[in-house]
Structure 1
Amino acid sequence: MKKNLIATTALVATAAAGTAVLTAAPANADVERRGSCAGAVYELNVDRERGGFEVSGDLEGARAGSEWKVTVRHDGTVATSRVLRADDEGELDVETRRRNTGGKDTFTLSVKPVGGSACSLSVSLR
Structure 2
Amino acid sequence: MLKRTTALIAGSALLAVPAVTLVAAPASADVERSGACGGGRYELSVDREGAGWEVNADLDRVAPGSRWRVVLKHDGRTFYSKVRTADREGDLDVERFRRDTAGKDSFRLVAKRVNGTATCARTITVG
For this structure pair, what is the TM-score category when the shorter chain's length is used for normalisation?
A: 0.7 to 0.9
- 1:43-86 Cα offsets, whole Å, 9 max, x none, are 00100011100001001011110001111100000010110000
State the partner residue of 1:72.
72
Alignment TM-score, normalising by the size of structure 2: 0.76
Distance in 2, matches of 1:117 and 1:61, equals 13
Contact kept, 8 Å, 1:74 with 1:106, in 2: the verdict is yes
State the partner residue of 2:34.
34
1:93 alignment partner, SS class:
strand
1:42-53 matches, within 5 Å, as 42-53=42-53
State the partner residue of 1:111.
111
1:62 alignment partner, SS class:
coil
State the partner residue of 2:122.
121
* Structure 1 portions without partners, runs of 5+: 1-24
Contact kept, 8 Å, 2:73 with 2:107, in 1: the verdict is yes
> Kindly, what percent of the aligned residue pairs are identical?
50
State the partner residue of 1:93.
93
Which has the greater radius of gyration? 2
What amino acid maps onto 2:89 in structure 1? E
2:90 alignment partner, SS class:
coil
Deviation for aligned residue 1:104:
0.8
Distance in 2, matches of 1:90 and 1:74, equals 26
* Structure 2 portions without partners, runs of 5+: 1-24
Distance in 1, matches of 2:56 and 2:113, equals 18
Deviation for aligned residue 1:95:
1.1
Distance in 2, matches of 1:114 and 1:43, equals 19
Distance in 1, matches of 2:122 and 2:37, equals 11
Q: Which moved more, 1:55-64 or 1:109-118?
A: 109-118
When the two chains are superposed, the root-mean-square deviation of aligned CA atoms in Å is 1.6
Residues paired across the two proteins, number: 103
Distance in 2, matches of 1:119 and 1:68, equals 11
What amino acid maps onto 2:122 in structure 1? L
Distance in 2, matches of 1:79 and 1:28, equals 24
Contact kept, 8 Å, 1:67 with 1:114, in 2: the verdict is yes
